[in-house]
Structure 1
Amino acid sequence: MTAVIEKRSVPRHRVLKGATIAFDGNGVECTVRNLSSNGAALDVASPIRVPPSFMLVIEADQFIRRCHPVWRSDKRIGVAFD
């Protein structure tokens, strides 16, 4: 078995929360898959529509953070909080 080396400075916790990527009066629905004090991984229908900077809003938790994408895959993006 190969050990996985964690590169994040703060460990993320698995979650499954509905959220909104808010920018310029628009919103794109997403699902938060993991979360830390420094960032998150988000599932989105199309990462192409995600701007270079936006607010992540998790209404159920009254959570709002400005963030920016740091990596992208087919339908998931990793974001860092500003």
Structure 2
Amino acid sequence: MVEERRKALREEVDEPAIMFGDGSSIRCRVVNLSDQGAAIELRDASLARPRFELMLERDRSVRKCRLVWAMQNRIGVSFDAAPSHADVDNVDHQ
């Protein structure tokens, strides 16, 4: 059994989201979430940058993220700060 190292329990969710930074954006899906981090599914984990921003489509909240792990089509991130709200016109959707 894998040892749980997270400081906060994560809630299972199914939230469409957008990862963005460096002038690009990637559609993804958040599969679990806590105040400290998340697991995210995307086409290919190798597409994730070491640092990026994540916007949940539901409420347009934006979190600064740091990549912690990557495996196949899933990544784990930790959040650097409390969420803010995006200026939707400045997000380049792909």
TM-score between both structures, scaled by the size of structure 2: 0.79
SS in 2 for 1:61: coil
The alignment of Structure 1 onto Structure 2 pairs a total of residues equal to: 80
Q: Deviation at 1:50?
A: 1.0
RMSD value, Cα: 1.3
Identity across the alignment (%): 39
> What are structure 1's unaligned runs of at least 5 residues?
none
TM-score by length of 1: 0.90
Give the corresponding residue for 1:62: 60
Give the letter for the 1:61 counterpart. D
State the 4+ residue runs in structure 1 displaced beyond 3 angstroms.
Answer: none
- Of the candidates 40, 43, 46, which is equivalent to residue 44 of structure 2? 46
**1:37 correspondence with 2:50:** no
Q: Measure, in 2, the Cα distance between the counterparts of 1:11 and 1:25.
A: 32
Task: Tell me how far apart the structure 2 counterparts of residues 71 and 10 of structure 1 sit (CA, whole Å).
Answer: 17
Alpha-carbon contact 2:40-2:76 (below 8 Å) kept: yes
Unaligned runs of 5+ in 2: 81-94
**Deviation string for 1:33-66 (max 9, x for gaps)?**
0000000000010111111100000121221000
CA-CA distance at 1:72 after TM superposition: 0.8
